[in-house]
Structure 1
Amino acid sequence: MTGQPNPNRIVLSSDHTAIPLRQAIAAHIAAQGWVVIDIGPRTPESTHYPEHGKAAARLVASGDCRFGIILCGTGQGIMMAANKVKGIRCGACADTFSARMIRQHNDANMLSIGARVVGEGLALDIVDAFLTAQFEGGRHATRVAMIGALEG
């Protein structure tokens, strides 16, 4: 990461399968006061999730955005692409407990959700759990540093 992340900016992106859910999440977090940078597609033509994951991850890694929320059908493929960007810790979550824990224990800076896995209500709860959780530091900071060291 090149600098301190912008404290109230979140980038959102997805492939074509997750446009409606991405837009619902964008409206939900904007209503909470977050500045939403939505870089995802607007039309349903097929797109490639690795490109969308990489683009969002670069905005988080650069510090332009504090967090990123990315979506594809399962949340897995786009998460894998995002995690290839140095400085990114992204987890795919289908429940609120995991979303809270990736922030508290792993200091995750990106969240991935599967639009074909969870419905809108649960997705919004997952986003809220992720955004309200705080990194606990302590023994977890050692482990996060170990993850970072794997980037080479």
Structure 2
Amino acid sequence: MRIGLGSDHNAFDMKESLKNYIQELGHEVVDYGCHSCSEVDYPEVAFEVGEGIIQNKLDRGILCCGTGIGVAIAAGKVPGIRAALCHDTYSAERAQKSNNAQVLTMGSKVIGIELAKQVVKTYLESHFSGGNSGRKVQQITDKEQEFLKGDAVHHEKTYK
């Protein structure tokens, strides 16, 4: 598979370790950055990985930041992307088998690299099973399309 990999500065070291590991597993890695420990904002990296998947340039994505939360939120803003924050192998398996999540996210300040490798391996070895899960994923896709067409009611709240 062709895997898009990205991080912010908080997870640079994790990303670099995962890059080598994913290649050892036999997958191609496209590194979307960051490329050093210098401070960088994660949204653009997450958007690029999500867009790469939607444009069929990537099969899946793996994103890391301090907690994994920010990159999950950002990647999930790309229409059609389902990003799953996983810090254990069971969740990583279910992210793919039950939710067809194209993007796995993790936090470098939450788990260590050895567990992250196990999570990545499980995620990459798991495949969407469809069935009852397919129906649920389709409901999510349908609602997203409804929002994109402007058919759904939007409630925006401004926070200061």
The TM-score with structure 2 as length reference comes to 0.88
Report whether the alignment pairs 1:115 with 2:108.
yes
Amino acid across the alignment from 1:29: I
**Corresponding residue for 2:92?**
99
**Corresponding residue for 1:52?**
45
Amino acid across the alignment from 2:64: L
Amino acid across the alignment from 2:115: L
Runs of 4+ that moved beyond 3 A: none
**Corresponding residue for 1:65?**
58
**Corresponding residue for 2:20?**
27
CA-CA distance at 1:57 after TM superposition? 0.7
Structure 2 portions without partners, runs of 5+:
146-160
1:84 corresponds, among 53, 77, 82, to 77
Whole-angstrom distance in 2 between the partners of 1:76 and 1:61: 21
Q: Tell me the C-alpha RMSD between the 2 structures.
A: 0.8
Query: Between the two proteins, what is the percent identity of the paired residues?
Result: 34
CA-CA distance at 1:78 after TM superposition? 0.7
> Radius of gyration: which is bigger?
2
| Secondary structure at 1:113 match in 2 | strand
Whole-angstrom distance in 2 between the partners of 1:74 and 1:32: 25
1:36 corresponds, among 29, 42, 49, to 29
Paired residues in the alignment total 145
